[in-house]
Each structure stands twice: as structure tokens, then as C-alpha cells.
Amino acid sequence: MRSLILAAVLLTPSLFIACNSGSAPDQADTDSGADVDTGTDWDDDSGSIADQALRCESTGVFDFRTVGVGFDKYDGHIVWAAAVQPINSPHTDTVTVLLETTIESGEFETSCQDSLEENYRYPSYAVVIDADESGDCSPEDYAAVGQFYAWNEDQEFTTEAFDGTDQAQGIPIGFVKIGDTTTWGERAFCDYYVPSELLK
């Protein structure tokens, strides 16, 4: 059984991950009351770019953001972006941020402001494409993971699929098929990053 436990940075060499400490995007919601749709990308006062912020609590100091382009083959497919920030042990922790959006015109973007904190217990994040369109995370889906010893700044995952797939595997560049992959403590990948009880 494969394991995603890496003490360094990336699961696959073709991933491009940039970590920065920039400010929030210009389109951030600045209202102080109930939201009114003004055509901005920020959907709620928690500071989230996503069709659904399944878990996004602005109680931290660092932002979590994912951006993907070149995924035209998967237009209409759901994408989940998750960050796990262990409190005591990565073996028993639950997902800290979970966002859901849909690929449109080959692109996707999610963001959760002020959701992460300085962490030295092997934090990680994952981006999952619902390849089989089952509506939940499953072995047939594709994932890219950033696994770290620690983080102490904004976390941004940016990936360009170019032609959209790995020609040999039919999988987006930088992603792998989840299959029977496990994480810490032999926990199933989907249970760790995209638990079904959080999906609406």
C-alpha cells in the first residue's frame, strides 16, 4: 500500500508550489454586515473564494490559496482543496480547511483567508479532482499533495496542466490517481483530506 508521508515538500516533481506572504486579493469582501452580491469573487465574510467553503474559519494568520489552469479536459468537474494543520499529531488530526469549486474553462481557484497558523507538526495540503464525478473523494480521483515539516507563512498551490493530462496515464500533470493511497497512521487518503461527512 502506497504512502503519502514525505518529510520534504512535494509528492511529484512536476508540481509547482509557491509559498508567499502577500496581502489578500484586491477583490476581498470588505463589508461589515450581511453579504450582498456585488459581483466580487469573495462569497462570504470568512474570506473564501469557493463555490462552497465546507470548512473555512478565519481564526489564523496565514492564507491558503490554490490556482489551476489548463484543465480543460475536466471542465465541470468538482475540485476540493484541503489543508490539514495538526494540533498534536498528524496521525489523529482532522482537516483544517476544506473548499469546493468547479473547473470552468480549464481553470479553478480557491482561497481561505487567515485560516492557517504557524505549525511544526507536518502540516500538508491536497488538491483533489473528482475525476469519476461521483460527488465525493474516491480511489478513482486524482490528487496533488504538498507535505511539509512546517509552515509559517501563506500557502499557495499553483499548477498548470498545460495540455491537461499526462499523455501516458491520462492524468493531469502533477497529479496521481488516489487508488489505495494512505496517509499518517495508514488512514485512507480521502478520509484524511476530504471526509465525506463534510461534503454537502
Q: Which residues contact 126 (CB under 8 A, 6 or more apart)?
A: 80, 81, 82, 84, 143, 144, 145, 146, 189, 193, 194
The mean predicted confidence, pLDDT, of the chain is 78
DSSP string, 126-154: EEEE-TT--SS--TTSEEEEEE-S-B-S-
**Mean pLDDT throughout 50-58?**
90
Judged against a pLDDT cut of 70, whether residue 134 lies above it is answered with yes
* pLDDT tens sequence across 61-71: 999 999 999 99
Q: What is the pTM of this model?
A: 0.76
Which of 31-40, 48-57, 77-86, 92-101: highest mean pLDDT?
Answer: 77-86
Whole-Å CA distances, 174 to 22, 115, 171:
25, 25, 8
pLDDT at residue 46, as a whole number? 53
**Mean pLDDT throughout 82-99?**
86
C-alpha cell read off for 95 = 482537516
* pLDDT tens sequence across 144-185: 999 999 999 999 999 888 665 665 667 888 899 999 999 987
